Structure 1
Amino acid sequence: MIRLKKLYEDLDIEVFKAPAEEELERLVKDTISNNGKPMSWKELRERFAGIAGEDRLRKVLIRLIERDEIIELPDGALALPGMEYSYIPKKSTKRVRPLVPSKFRARWG
């Protein structure tokens, strides 16, 4: 469960504050960590639907990959450093383009 600051609440509606960039980065890392295994782009996008748009989430992921705070695995899954050693890649019919191709090539060839 992703915790956000509640701004307003009544019987019909709850309004939450959207996370700042630094908070969104922390939430992404916490989400992957709490999941206990690497997550696909689709899983992260679904988890953050209504919290952060696809473009904003993609930018945060790119920043985290560039700073080596998360890594992109050969099958496109995103993981915290160290998770790649016990991860078994999923068989998929379609491979998505790496978010940071230079980092991907440096790590996986």
Structure 2
Amino acid sequence: MSPFLINLALNFLFGSKGKEVIDLAQRLILAAENAGGSGEEKFRAVMTALSQYAQEHGLLANFPQPLREAIFRLVIEALVFLLSKQGLINTHKRAYYEQPTFPWA
């Protein structure tokens, strides 16, 4: 998918917040890349970056920590799914994320 179409889709979905979504995605990707090590270390780095972003923007401030972490995990799963569909993550991980989310549906 071309960058133009991605920007168009983000603007359609998020309106003026499209640039913020891109900035957040870049921040999370950089956190994962800079973490090195195991998948758990990368996950912790991404969770820390996401939590820092939420604090900077006052997002989810009234939610208890377990709920915030569950929401963050869902966001990360969605980002990984979207990146896998674009071919931007390792192919060995793509097979896992191409499985149907709701096999009974």
Q: TM-score range by the shorter chain?
A: 0.3 to 0.5
Q: Higher strand proportion, which one?
A: 1
Q: Higher helix proportion, which one?
A: 2
TM-score, length basis structure 1: 0.38
TM-score, length basis structure 2: 0.39
